[in-house]
Structure 1
Amino acid sequence: MNFKLILISPMLISLLVFGQEDKNLVPNPSFEVLDGKLKKLKQINVAKHWSSPTALKADLFSKKKDAPVHAPENMYGKEFPKDGNNYAGILLYSYNNKSPRTYIQTQLLNPLTAGLDYCVKFRVSLSDLSKYAVNNIGLHFGVDPLSLDGKGDIIFNKSDEFSSVIRDGGNKTFNARYNWETVCGIYKADGKESFITIGNFFNNKDTKFEKLKKLENFPGTQIPSAYYYVDNVEVFLIENISECNCSGQNRIKRESIVYHRDYPTDGSDISIEVQLKRATVYFDVESDKIDNMFLKSINSIAELMKSNKNLKLEIHGHTDQAEHDAIQEDPENQQLINLAELRAKSIFNALSSKGVESDRLIIKSFNSDQPAFKGFSMLSLAKNRRVEFKAVQ
């Protein structure tokens, strides 16, 4: 029996084209270049290089155009462009899913390079007549463009899909109706990502919303939705996270470490309880992404569930004490606050994608209350960042 300790150290890579490292890879990032006549709503495609991946198109507004697509005043509220004369408009949430969401999408100037870090920034402003504000505002990276026939929501349910979505570091609820806020994050490329899409890719039940009162003396009727203006989209290569300058995200980060333990495969029969214990999944610092080394564990659990139809499974999410303490430094960081649950959900989604019925899976979150090992050594903390399994008959 042996175990491996995987250390992931930052790499500084010198590029011959170093002068291009701060070049924005997003074409027409502020929607200034138009290709066609902008006259009505649902015309995001008039902004050169931009489109929507569903049949319901996003909006485009301009200071140089009349109603209904005028800026700063329009049917959704009042906002001056963050940059230039134009901005886009997308619907990210509606009460009881009464209205389909909208998204904006473009192809990057160059594909991303595997293993390199990219800074992601885009500016959003909640429209004045929105009754709701939400979190989960994200930018998705894909090798291919997203596409959905008809009018509907693009909802992800697989862990690898969520790992390609960059949200604000604290996944805050963006509720400012009178100014622009920045969604900012850092993305480590898998390689060959060529398309970005901005929107909300999470179910309503997984989206935190805040109900807002109508602004005093503002004309018009509130819409039962969260409608956001979008402007100034950036994706650029960085060598150090400080170059991205995301507020609240540049606190000192601990060295990445993922614990993993190998067990002998002697072919002997072992109980379900032992199989589940050996399938424990461990996580990197402040992450809910499943490392590839644990895909074998996921597969074994899925096969176990399929072979035991009466078995139900509790999925226990845990964090380490240092992750818990980090909330004090960043009290609005929803990723940290909900990290144990998010880890359990990532396993839930992975098992569901392999055919395990969702009603046989039960998520439980314990945060840092039940450490597997005491102490603050790197190894002890790594052993506590985990998801464990418990059989329920």
Structure 2
Amino acid sequence: MTINNSFFFCLALACCLLCSNLQAQNLVSNGSFEYVDACPGSFCQSPADLKVSGWKQVGLGTPDYFHACSEGDADVPYNWAGVSEAFEGSGYGGLFLWMDDDKDYREYFYAALESPLLKDSTYIISFHYKLSSYSKFSIDRIGVLLIDQLPKVRHDKLLKVEPTLNVINDSAFTENTGTWEWVNFEYKAKGAERNIIIGNFSSNEETKSYEIISRSIGEPMLAAASYYYIDGVEVRPKFTSEVADTVFSKPVPEAFAVNKNYILSNIQFEFNSHKLIKESLNALDPVISFMISNPDVNIEVSGHTDDQGSDKYNITLSQRRANAVAEYLRIKGVDSKRIKTYAYGKQRPLVPGTSEEGRKQNRRVEVKFVQVMRP
């Protein structure tokens, strides 16, 4: 399937705290590229150089890994391909998507999913990508493939398979080029898909490119190439009927764990507003206590809305609600550098349907505690 990228942008922690199984689990175990097998030193020249847990190359092309623990050319934010903070956390991947030659050189990342997709079930597939600042060229597309068996290739050329989704911009250079762009779409599974592959599945003839004249050549390997960072890869069931594995009658900081999402079930806002009601503030105290007692843990706050209203309006509202929670944490002594906020609007409902009860469950804020990676 091919979709124009503009579609995507126009598209209990309280008296009863529920653990994140109510939110569909990400089937990509290291989608944020946080977990390292070893700190990377430079760009990869062989499969053994790729030190990121859960990710591997397809074919002979050699994608790269960047992390803040590196002391060399694979650092974050400063590395051989450019300067960029991670979209989330401290790491990201990197791929050559295009070169200005007749060889169709390509690099592809793949990750095995934690469980195969179920036939006819609906999943939300998303990831972020960003043109590196030393790339002299930008291109108009990137693709993702969900597949059961990995293709057997012994070359570093174009992977000649039809992707699950081919994201194609209106132009090879847009106002978003050079920022973290977002791919987000629904997918009805054929059944048994157990791998996700990311890269450019189009030939050089099909791919539109744009030479960024204003950029000087900061890296010779990118003087005639388009190189993109990848971060925040997710494959989640759209809905889940799983029951939470832990219910807290009284939330206590000792019960919290890192790398799990928690639904703030008693966090309420005024109607059609991002203003927290007074009764919600006390429900955040256990979060604050946990953050202050664990200085090596950061927190991610995500806002969600129900299905009413436009995509653009709900993204804005959910961002403001996440920001309101983050601001309260800051007021209570949590360093702002330890807080990240995300807005998902109505893209990740907990339950289907348009009843008021269902909408109430989908209007929520979630938090995730993330262990800080140290060198």
TM-score grouping bracket, smaller chain normalisation: 0.5 to 0.7
Match of 1:328 in 2: none
**With structure 2 as the length reference, what TM-score do the two structures score?**
0.53
SS in 2 for 1:197: strand
Match of 1:266 in 2: none
- Over 3 Å counting, the alpha-carbon distance change for 1:171 and 1:188 in structure 2 is farther
Match of 1:235 in 2: 235
Counterpart-to-counterpart distance in 1, 2:43 and 2:239? 40
Counterpart-to-counterpart distance in 1, 2:170 and 2:123? 18
How far residue 26 of structure 1 moved from its aligned partner, in angstroms, is: 0.6
- Over 3 Å counting, the alpha-carbon distance change for 1:89 and 1:243 in structure 2 is farther
Which of 147, 151, 158 is 2:152 aligned to? 147
Match of 1:166 in 2: 165
Counterpart of 1:94 in structure 2: which amino acid?
M
- Over 3 Å counting, the alpha-carbon distance change for 1:49 and 1:230 in structure 2 is same
Contact kept in structure 2, 1:21 and 1:238, CA below 8 Å: no
Match of 1:189 in 2: 189
How far residue 140 of structure 1 moved from its aligned partner, in angstroms, is: 0.3
Match of 1:82 in 2: 87
- Over 3 Å counting, the alpha-carbon distance change for 1:170 and 1:214 in structure 2 is closer
- Over 3 Å counting, the alpha-carbon distance change for 1:193 and 1:59 in structure 2 is same
How far residue 21 of structure 1 moved from its aligned partner, in angstroms, is: 5.5
In the TM superposition, what are the counterparts of 1:48-63 in structure 2 within 5 Å? 48-63=53-68
How far residue 206 of structure 1 moved from its aligned partner, in angstroms, is: 1.7
Gaps of at least 5 residues in structure 2 are 1-19, 241-304, 315-375
In the TM superposition, what are the counterparts of 1:208-287 in structure 2 within 5 Å? 208-215=208-215, 219-220=218-219, 223-239=223-239
- Over 3 Å counting, the alpha-carbon distance change for 1:146 and 1:230 in structure 2 is same
Match of 1:36 in 2: 38
Which of 81, 102, 113 is 2:107 aligned to? 102
- Over 3 Å counting, the alpha-carbon distance change for 1:23 and 1:72 in structure 2 is same
Q: How many residues align?
A: 224
SS in 2 for 1:46: coil
Contact kept in structure 2, 1:166 and 1:187, CA below 8 Å: no
Counterpart-to-counterpart distance in 1, 2:185 and 2:311? 10
The structure with the larger Rg is: 1
Counterpart-to-counterpart distance in 2, 1:55 and 1:168? 24
Match of 1:22 in 2: 24
Counterpart-to-counterpart distance in 1, 2:235 and 2:310? 13
SS in 1 for 2:101: helix
Which of 116, 122, 127 is 1:117 aligned to? 122
Counterpart-to-counterpart distance in 2, 1:100 and 1:68? 22
- Over 3 Å counting, the alpha-carbon distance change for 1:93 and 1:243 in structure 2 is farther
How far residue 94 of structure 1 moved from its aligned partner, in angstroms, is: 0.9
Contact kept in structure 2, 1:129 and 1:214, CA below 8 Å: no
Gaps of at least 5 residues in structure 1 are 1-17, 251-393
Counterpart of 1:22 in structure 2: which amino acid?
A
Counterpart of 2:59 in structure 1: which amino acid?
T
Match of 2:263 in 1: none
Match of 1:204 in 2: 204
Contact kept in structure 2, 1:114 and 1:191, CA below 8 Å: yes
Counterpart-to-counterpart distance in 1, 2:26 and 2:123? 10
**With structure 1 as the length reference, what TM-score do the two structures score?**
0.51
Match of 2:52 in 1: 47
State, as a whole percentage, how many aligned pairs show the same letter: 26
Counterpart-to-counterpart distance in 2, 1:106 and 1:21? 21
Give a deviation string over 1:82-133, Cα, whole Å, max 9, x none.
1111110001111124562111001001111111111111111101121222
How far residue 20 of structure 1 moved from its aligned partner, in angstroms, is: 5.3
